[in-house]
Amino acid sequence: MERKIAVLGAGSWGTALAISLSNKGHRVQMWDIDQTHLESLHENRENKKYLPDICFNHRLEIKKDLEEAVRGTDIVLFSAPAQHFRSALNGAIPYLKDDMVLVNVAKGIEQKSLKRLSEIVFERLPKANYVVLSGPSHAEEVARALPTTVVAASNDQRLAEYIQDIFMTEKFRVYTNSDIVGVELGGALKNIIALGAGISDGMGFGDNAKAAMMTRGITEIARLGVKLGGKQTTFFGLSGIGDLIVTCTSMHSRNRRCGIMIGEGIAPTEATKKVGMVVEGMFTTEAAYELARRNEVEMPITQQIYEVINEKTDVKEALLALMTRQKKHETEDLF
């Protein structure tokens, strides 16, 4: 079932999916706002900046013009960072057709509006055929065809199954889900906890501390997620606990690497620069902190990470605040 697919955003994740889709036999047209980067992709037939030594096949074309990349495609895949998703969507809208399927693979919450990315889509395109693809999926591994499992979520089960068929290979397994809210929030909020796990590692703490960070982290992710309309079970699936595990434990994770540097004493702004790519958790922490405040949801880990990255407290004070909170029963006020 060959399809023509536009990939908007040639970072590591967009490139990895473009490679996987083209290797399956789909015609892929990849575009990015950075024209210099596109020149490199076109000349080298690989993404030397983010995924070196993985060659493109002939079905993966590089397009310098956005209109040329989008027109006539069956699927438009958005892989721009979450804070740039709105501008990428607005740029593509003039060339979209009603029957095109829009797939978003970015993970985040728009900081200024506090909107999920599907909310931005439906705000502009109320009848959009929208699917979010999320889960534990490092680009570096997907590009090399290492076994990976993700979830496709849509309000329309047929759309989710359509994308499942398009993306699924022997090494890239796709499940379906109807809970867009939960899948999007799980993918976004886990980056906050990954910052925390990195900070713990950077401070020299062990496995016990990181296990606690992850376990209590998924609890507060689910607490906010359910409050905002997500389903409890989603947060214990691939886009919840699955994505949380991989992001908190791998050095592929930009959020964890940034957190490690903060834990070692490097200023948050400097740590972000050293990572060299977008650290989405820095933006998501700001948004989640405000969402929790507005919705009166208790998120102590998120609150302390917010304080740390805004340099209102240091990591040792944040740790003390978490460890000396009021005594509680483990399952008290989960949701």
Q: Which of 190, 273, 274, 327 is catalytic?
A: 190
Q: Where in the chain is the domain with CATH 1.10.1040.10?
A: 181-323
Query: What mean pLDDT is predicted for residues 233-242?
Result: 97
Cα 181 to Cα 291: distance, rounded to the nearest angstrom? 14
User: Could you tell me where the DSSP H helices lie in the chain?
Assistant: 12-24, 35-44, 66-70, 85-92, 117-124, 139-142, 157-167, 180-202, 207-227, 243-249, 254-263, 268-275, 280-295, 300-309, 315-323
Quickly state the pLDDT bin for 334 (edges 50, 70, 90): low
Task: Report whether 237 contacts 173 (CB < 8 A).
Answer: no
Angle value at C-alpha 130, between 15 and 116, nearest 5 degrees: 85
Query: What mean pLDDT is predicted for residues 1-21?
Result: 97
Quickly state the pLDDT bin for 333 (edges 50, 70, 90): low
Q: Which amino acid is located at 102 in the chain?
A: L
Residue 335 has pLDDT above 80, yes or no: no
pLDDT of residue 297: 97
Task: Report whether 171 contacts 148 (CB < 8 A).
Answer: yes
**Predicted confidence (pLDDT) per residue in 295-304, tens digit:** 999 999 999 9
**Element holding 172 (H helix, E strand):** strand 172-177
Quickly state the pLDDT bin for 260 (edges 50, 70, 90): very high
pTM: 0.95
How is domain 181-323 classified at the architecture level of CATH? Orthogonal Bundle (1.10)
Which pair of structure tokens corresponds to residue 267? 């200023």
190 a catalytic residue? yes
Answer whether CATH 3.40.50.720 is correct for domain 4-178. Answer: yes
pLDDT, the chain, mean: 96
Task: Report whether 275 contacts 252 (CB < 8 A).
Answer: no
Cα dihedral 299, 111, 285, 250 in deg (nearest 10): 130
Query: What mean pLDDT is predicted for residues 13-33?
Result: 98
